[in-house]
Amino acid sequence: MTDQPDHTRSLAFEDVILSEGEALAVWSRAAQLQAEADTPDERGAAAASAPPSAATVALAEGTRAPAGMYLVREIVAAAREAGIADTHVRVALAEHDALGHDLALAVEQIDEGQRDQHIGVDARCVRASRVIPESAATVLQRLRIAAAAAPWSLEFETLLGDHPAHGGVLRFSVPVLGGQRDASTSPVALNRFVYQATRVGLQHIHVTVAPRGTESQPQCELTITGDLRFGERRSIGIYRALTKVMASVVAVAGAIVGENTAGPAGAVAGLSIGAAAAFGFSTLVAAIGRWEHRLAHRVLTAELDALLSRVQRPSEEARAFGPENAAPVPRLRRGFDEVGFSLRAGLRLA
């Protein structure tokens, strides 16, 4: 994978090659996604297992991967042996592809102490999942229409891997507040989904479809995952820079004021007061950051769940009111006068 992935490529997903560092980052992210999954069994499996090390991957004889590089199929197989579900590995691979090589490695190196101080949300993704009593084909068609509508305004970007019903991952780009995808489209309207996504740097969501049920009674589990790590890294950088600048300004200003009013001793006292004020400002900035990210996580999760609800709604309506074709359909039958001209239209029920 390159820094700028080519989303038009036809290369088989299973044949993509990653470096050892990328493979370890993907395994780490996949274990993280599984730990945050809603299914209790998946949470238990993630807690009981650790991401595999590079040594656990044994490349098959004759593969074209050079030394220190790994095929996606080998990465998936190694994670499976460690108890990590294939779905989470494939989503992690899709997120890695979306971020690009350098950024994908950088977001895995976020300092946990800084993250706790400024982000304050345990989850590093937003996630919504729902089992819908329809075939994968029906669900995908509904998703395509619903995702493009307001308030989500998601734009389909690419499919990574096989058909979604067979392990492929769909990627949609998330609109940016005030942004415009091309000259033929209008700027994105303000709503709470777009605002919060822009606020926390949510750039893409990835969608998986897992068939459930039987042939006679089809179901499928539709899961949407949004990667928050890019936004976390950006926010931490902004908070730290803002805190450093303000701390320096306040401390220097305190020292200058103190010296002008009470000489050298006043400068020391002013510096101390300025430092205390800077610490208070830093604490306030961190508290605001944690509040903003908690709010954004709740809002984005609710909005993604609302998207799933929109996809499921026709099924619920059919279950409540019966299939659409069971409702009476008006039929228009023409009447004729004695000279054969059509004079009126009688509306009768079939």
Per-residue pLDDT averaged across 307-324, rounded? 88
pLDDT tens digits, one per residue of 113-147: 989 988 999 999 999 999 999 999 999 999 999 99
pLDDT tens digits, one per residue of 190-200: 899 999 999 99
Per-residue pLDDT averaged across 200-217, rounded? 92
Q: How far apart are the C-alpha atoms of 110 and 93, rounded to whole Å?
A: 19
Q: How far apart are the C-alpha atoms of 194 and 188, rounded to whole Å?
A: 8
Query: 37-59 in b/e burial notation, b at 16+ Cβ within 10 A?
Result: beeeebeebbeeeebbeeeebee
- In this prediction, residue 61 carries a pLDDT of 43
Q: Which residue has the higher pLDDT, 202 or 20?
A: 202
**Where are the alpha helices (H) located in 149-222, listed in sequence order?**
192-200
Q: What does pLDDT average to over the chain?
A: 79
- In this prediction, residue 78 carries a pLDDT of 84
Q: How far apart are the C-alpha atoms of 122 and 111, rounded to whole Å?
A: 13
Q: Which residue has the higher pLDDT, 171 or 341?
A: 171
Is pLDDT of 243 > 50? yes
- In this prediction, residue 338 carries a pLDDT of 46
CA dihedral sign of residues 196, 202, 203, 207: negative
What are the CB-based long-range contacts (under 8 Å, 24+) for 148-155?
A: 149/310, 150/189, 150/191, 151/191, 151/192, 151/193, 151/194, 151/303, 152/193, 152/303, 152/307, 153/188, 153/189, 153/194, 154/205, 155/181
Q: How confident is the model at residue 172 (pLDDT cuts 50, 70, 90)?
A: very high
Q: Which residues pair with 205 in a beta bridge?
A: 172, 226
Residue type, 28: S
pLDDT tens digits, one per residue of 48-107: 455 555 445 444 444 445 567 888 888 888 888 888 999 999 999 999 999 998 999 999
CA dihedral sign of residues 245, 248, 251, 256: negative
- In this prediction, residue 257 carries a pLDDT of 59
Per-residue pLDDT averaged across 36-55, rounded? 54
pLDDT tens digits, one per residue of 269-287: 655 666 676 677 778 888 9
- In this prediction, residue 10 carries a pLDDT of 39
CA dihedral sign of residues 150, 227, 84, 58: positive
- In this prediction, residue 258 carries a pLDDT of 56
Q: What DSSP state is assigned to residue 157?
A: E
- In this prediction, residue 280 carries a pLDDT of 75
